[in-house]
Amino acid sequence: MRDRIVVGNWKMNKDFEETEKMLTQLKSYSKPSGAKIMIAPSFTQLYQSVQSLKSTNIYVAAQNIGIAESGAYTGEVSPKMLKGVGVNTVIIGHSERRNIFQENDNFLTKKIKIALESDIMVIFCLGEKLEDRISKNHFEIVSQQLKKTIFNLSYKSMTNIILAYEPVWAIGTGETATAAQAQEMHFYIRNLISSHFNSKIADNISILYGGSVKPENAKEIFSESDVDGGLIGGASLNAEDFMKIANSF
């Protein structure tokens, strides 16, 4: 049975004080038994978050990772640095990294590989833009994103991959894919994985949906058979909303 996972991507939000407040609030809510919960604060708040959540079942992920183990990469953070502060999961390929920071599939594959080599679990994001959906090219775009990245990995590596389907037109826009649209794409992705790797890997991989998930729509989206949870942006900045979403299975 694959894991159900809800991840809060805080993006470039919450400084030290705000993180302290948020962590206290998160710890005050009852934890869902049915899902694994993770938060992804900024690099500067990772150690603080790991320490604070130590005796809870809320895990801490990073939002990014460098492309090498060490060296002349100004501004980057290595896998060893993440592991050193107790972080064992990283988000790679978020559409903001792809679009604002021009990270392409080739570059993202380097990040995936360096993370996996250090035993860091990868939450890999993929999804089409609005123009791709309008031109009905969305399946082809997602298929190409998989072929250029995840399909270059070994069978064994796949146990450390979580996928997040995030249609770009639904991220931070208030517009959500319908539960049927999410299910249709998740089913498509799982079939591609089954054809490229095998059905066992496809059955075991968690595929999260991301794009304006809120307490009001989470239950419907998570009830789809191929949706194994969510990657939550805006709504993860409010502890009550985030925990409601995490309890929506």
Q: Just list the catalytic residues.
A: 94, 166
- CA of 152: how far to CAs of 63, 66, 118, 173, 237, in Å? 22, 19, 17, 32, 34
Q: Which stretch binds ligand PEP (CB under 6 A): 29-37, 71-79, 192-200, 207-215?
A: 207-215
Helix, strand or coil, per DSSP, at residue 141: helix
| Alpha carbons 9 and 64: distance in angstroms, whole number | 11
Looking up tokens 């979580």, which residue turns up?
Answer: 162
Interface with ligand PEP includes 62 (CB under 6 A)?
Answer: no
Residue 177 binds ligand PEP (CB under 6 A) = no
Q: Does residue number 171 form part of the binding site for ligand PEP (CB under 6 A)?
A: yes
Residue 232 contacts ligand PEP per CB under 6 A: yes
Residue nearest to ligand PEP (CB): 233
Minimum Å distance from CB 81 to ligand PEP? 23
If binding is defined by CB under 6 A, does position 34 make contact with ligand PEP? no
User: In angstroms, what is the minimal distance from the CB of 156 to ligand PEP?
Assistant: 27
d(Cα 61, Cα 163) in Å, to the nearest integer? Answer: 14
Nearer to ligand PEP, 97 or 202 (CB): 97
Among residues 19 and 78, whose Cβ is nearest to ligand PEP? 19
Does 231 bind ligand PEP (CB under 6 A)? Our answer is yes
Rounded Cα gap, residues 224 and 165, in angstroms: 14
Q: In this chain, which stretch among 38-46, 186-194, 217-225, 230-238 interacts with ligand PEP, using CB under 6 A?
A: 230-238
Q: Is the dihedral of CA 68, 74, 77, 81 positive or negative?
A: positive
80, 123, 147, 185 from 8: Cα distances, Å:
23, 12, 27, 22
The answer to whether residue 212 forms part of the interface with ligand PEP (CB under 6 A) is yes
- The partner residues of 58 in beta bridges, in order of sequence, read 37
Give the interface with ligand PEP as residue ranges (CB under 6 A).
9, 94, 166, 171-172, 210-213, 231-235
